[in-house]
Structure 1
């Protein structure tokens, strides 16, 4: 395993930070939790990181066995980055870290990515047991996701759905505002912040976020 920097400390925490402790590394990993991405997708999700920095982080994570790089088969043919099985083991740690970080005040003009909002949705949704199963097609930042809401919670995956009950297209910040209770769906429609069909089904998704979770907001 290649590491260019080390704390020189035998503790497992220090050894983990040798691998994922560089600036932007954990956020790159966060973005890959919902599936493989092109470099441009990662760059769009993390606008504060320079192109060279992202390239360095992806290369380091690849050298250390956390991320793999491969080319999709035709007709896509794009090169994508994807978490290895070992890298995916970081997901529960990142989710817990995000929950811990909600107590930290937000920075002014802070951005938020589609993946961050969807991880918040997946971790926070607690629908009523009588809530009917709903399949939603969600488009955020030109990426398409499938969200299934049922009595067990919200299940999120990248990719389209052959059949869905409702669709919603908006930017990640708008979805975050809807889920956190800072914006209601009717206002978002009137203001043109969302493109939507079957709003009652989308409202079920919003209503699945408990009030306490709404006040805390997304990580």
Structure 2
């Protein structure tokens, strides 16, 4: 089945030809954490069907956004990872997260949540902690982000030897991410625990 196109000689239309399909940018969000197996992607994208996920990954590989490779033994499984072109979508996702942040005012009962979904909007607010890997602990789970410009930008789960650890709730994380609360204010109010303290 041929892929649909806007057929417009416009950079925005061309970009949407590549990433405008439902789920594509959320797959990019997941792959910004590094290579992922198909089953891991499916688990962290609640609501996507296996057919749609497979189709999007195939389209993304064809468009040069992702690559697929086999891990060496003993893993010997296939993983998907972003190409350099795919990683260039990070500022796009950060801008979308900024734009969408006001819609997080209230969590709906049907909303799925994964702790690492907070990584992209939060990462750029952690510069005051210095360059390194910061572990973030929420009730919803643990993830870590890099503030040193390295890759991958974030990872699910605890960090290996983090420079600092933040413990906070999701509402505080959202407030820091959208800039309505600074990290320094959150620490001074006690809504953010920082270890080691600054």
Q: TM > 0.5 between the two?
A: yes
TM-score, length-scaled by structure 1: 0.63
CA distance in 1, matches of 2:138, 2:71: 22
Partner of 1:112: 113
Whole-Å Cα distance in 2 between the matches of residues 116 and 180 of structure 1?
11
In 2, Cα distance between equivalents of 1:73 and 1:147: 26
Q: Could you say which residue in structure 1 is the equivalent of 2:71?
A: 72
For residues 39 and 163 of structure 1, do their structure 2 counterparts lie closer, same or farther at Cα, with a shift above 3 Å needed? same
Q: CA, structure 1 residues 72+140, in 2 after alignment: closer, same or farther (shift >3 Å)?
A: farther
Distance 2:172 2:68 in 1: 35
Structure 1 runs not aligned, ≥5 long:
182-199, 209-219
- Aligned partner of 2:193 in structure 1 is 203
Q: How many residues align?
A: 176
Structure 2 residue matching 1:110: 3-state secondary structure: coil
Asked if 2 retains the 8 angstrom alpha-carbon contact of 1:138 and 1:167, the reply is yes
Alpha-carbon offset, residue 116 of structure 1: 1.7
Deviations 1:29-69 (A, max 9, x none): 11111211111111111111111111111111111111111
| Partners of 1:65 and 1:87 within 8 A in 2 | yes
Distance 1:65 1:128 in 2: 35
1:86 aligns with 2:76: no
Q: Residue 158 of structure 1: SS of its match in structure 2?
A: strand
Cα pair distance change 1:139/1:112, threshold 3 Å? closer
Q: RMSD in angstroms over aligned alpha carbons?
A: 4.0
On the 8 A contact 1:134/1:148 being kept in 2, the answer is yes
